[in-house]
Structure 1
């Protein structure tokens, strides 16, 4: 019972935040494994991949096509470099030491998660959708979506900062909702442009949530542990 109580204590260095992070990470792994199994067997969510992709490709028209290109370019490698640099400057200028822990979480989550995604692509080696008149042609693998995982990691981190940073709940909920919308639109853009199947996008979102849970929880635990050590030194 003492162990359980310690894991559920909000202020403890190995308390509720660590439990919640571990639970989210394990849930993400379980969902990702289920989606990957569906893709391998062409069953479950993957059974609808071709139908959804064909429908979106057949109904592509302006101004939606230009909007989808905008979200795709924004979350490309070049776009993510710019976004991460801007966020890095923002966190560096926040009150310390909290700002630097968020900066560490940013450095670990977005670049690290994008590298993890490349590794997963080469593990599963799923071919991309093929159309007679493609809007976008890529030679790399499809599963999971790199643009979507980048958006999930970046906007998920910013939403976490907004929610945990204090302020009015309406503002925090609005910022979290805006970040979620950015992720969803990025995922839709990849399906719309014919670069990915819906299951690629879903797996990328789950992958991003799991990796983000690891990074944020790890940095939060490090911050709390150092704070506890400093407090013990002051009282000794």
Structure 2
């Protein structure tokens, strides 16, 4: 490699890793998360289609959880699943949007409105692409006529709590608060995923694929809004000089 080409490559890498750059570290991290999420989603989808890998255990896990269903766990799982239905998510998103509006966090508000509704629409599209039938039981706890892969409730939870955790990580000063936000978001997504498997309306790979799908879409939305904010800030600074 010629010295000039090597120098340009080093400058390019340095620019991609600069924390405050317009197209710096935030964009690099967002693209890396997107690529990883898409690749892993593809692996899970392939396993699901071929009933191989993780999908080979789908039916066993679903049967085991359905066979051990009992109160008060069933009522708790129903509460969790209803909280993260379309109506429940509309309430949660509205409350967080109001908070962002009052805090004048315009770019986070934009990211929220792109992330959750857009991600839920993407989930519906993916359901019709893969058309996987839901688990079937003789005495179902819950029955739904729509497709199974990926899980819409899990996707919605991952989008909402993931964005909320990202906001806390970016704005909180104490690392303990940041760690608690990430752990809490992961726990909520896991609980919603378990509730869907427990109630017999999804396989484990449905929920895993939903979480990966949401990570990829969230990376696009948050990175896009962050880039827009940084570009406008850079332009305003140039205008002042």
> Could you say which TM-score interval applies, normalised by the shorter chain?
over 0.9
Q: Give 1:166 shift.
A: 2.3
Residues of 2 paired with 1:179 and 1:120: CA distance? 24
Q: Which runs of structure 1 show a deviation greater than 4 angstroms over 4 or more consecutive aligned residues? A: none
TM-score, with length taken from structure 2 = 0.95
Q: Deviations over 1:19-70 (max 9, x none)?
A: 0000000000000000000000000000000000000000001111111111
Aligned to 1:170: 176
Aligned to 2:3: none
Q: Does 1:202 align with 2:208?
A: yes
Q: Does 1:87 align with 2:96?
A: yes
Query: Could you say what the CA RMSD is over the residues aligned between the two structures, in angstroms?
Result: 0.6
Q: Count residues with an aligned counterpart.
A: 232
Aligned to 2:6: none
Q: Give 1:174 shift.
A: 1.1
Aligned to 1:113: 119
Q: Give 1:3 shift.
A: 0.8
Residues of 1 paired with 2:86 and 2:172: CA distance? 31
Give structure 2 stretches of 5+ with no counterpart. Answer: 1-9
Q: Does 1:102 align with 2:111?
A: no
Q: Deviations over 1:206-236 (max 9, x none)?
A: 000110011000000000010000001101x
Aligned pairs (5 A) from 1:18-29: 18-29=27-38
Q: Give 1:168 shift.
A: 1.1
Residues of 2 paired with 1:82 and 1:92: CA distance? 15
Q: What SS does the corresponding residue of 2:111 show, helix, strand or coil? A: helix
TM-score, with length taken from structure 1 = 0.97
Give structure 1 stretches of 5+ with no counterpart. Answer: none
